[in-house]
């Protein structure tokens, strides 16, 4: 196999692998707000007793901007939900340049926050209702 054909094969294989990985995320719409549309991946819930870990996605209606001036269209957050106490905490959030979790990561927040009561009618309440 010549060098350029090998490169093409590797590029195509990588692209197909990325497509397969992206296809494994199944975003279900949860709630439309003035900010954007919230989604949850109910097929990838980690379960440790009453504690559920889940990925959520916010697809913004308009382009947002970090304090450093970096533009993003979506954010993906790892949430932990305590189904017994009806509380939640954010584990980390990634901000992505493209819609629906696509594009380059422009910012990441990784601090684990404290447990807070889930407020009725919020996106996290809707997510908890589907997951718990």
Average pLDDT taken over every residue of the chain: 85
CA angle 63, 69, 70 (to 5 degrees): 60
User: For residues 110 and 90, what is the distance between their CA atoms, to the nearest angstrom?
Assistant: 9
pLDDT over 90, % of the chain = 75
* Helix/strand/coil percent split, the chain, to 5: 30, 45, 30
Count of alpha carbons within 13 angstroms of residue 45, beta-carbon side: 21
Predicted pLDDT of residue 25: 82
The 10s digit of each residue's pLDDT in 97-121 is 999 999 999 999 987 889 999 999 9
Which domains, and CATH codes, for the chain? 26-131 (2.40.128.710)
- What average pLDDT does the segment 38-46 reach? 94
The 10s digit of each residue's pLDDT in 45-79 is 999 999 999 999 999 999 999 999 999 999 999 99
* pLDDT of 125 above 60: yes
Confidence grade of residue 24 (pLDDT, cut at 50, 70, 90): low
């Amino acid at each position: 196999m010549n060098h350029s054909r090998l490169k093409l094969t590797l590029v195509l294989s990588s692209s197909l692998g990325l497509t397969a990985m992206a296809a494994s995320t199944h975003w279900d719409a949860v709630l439309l707000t003035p900010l954007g549309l919230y989604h949850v991946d109910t097929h990838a819930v980690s379960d440790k007793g009453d504690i559920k870990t889940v990925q959520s996605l916010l697809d913004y209606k308009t382009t947002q901007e970090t304090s450093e001036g970096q533009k993003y269209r979506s954010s993906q957050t790892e949430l932990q939900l305590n189904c017994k106490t009806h509380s939640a905490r954010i584990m980390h959030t990634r901000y992505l340049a493209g819609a629906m979790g696509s594009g380059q990561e422009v910012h990441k927040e990784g601090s684990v926050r404290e447990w807070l009561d889930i407020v009725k009618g919020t996106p996290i309440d809707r997510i908890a209702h589907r997951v718990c």
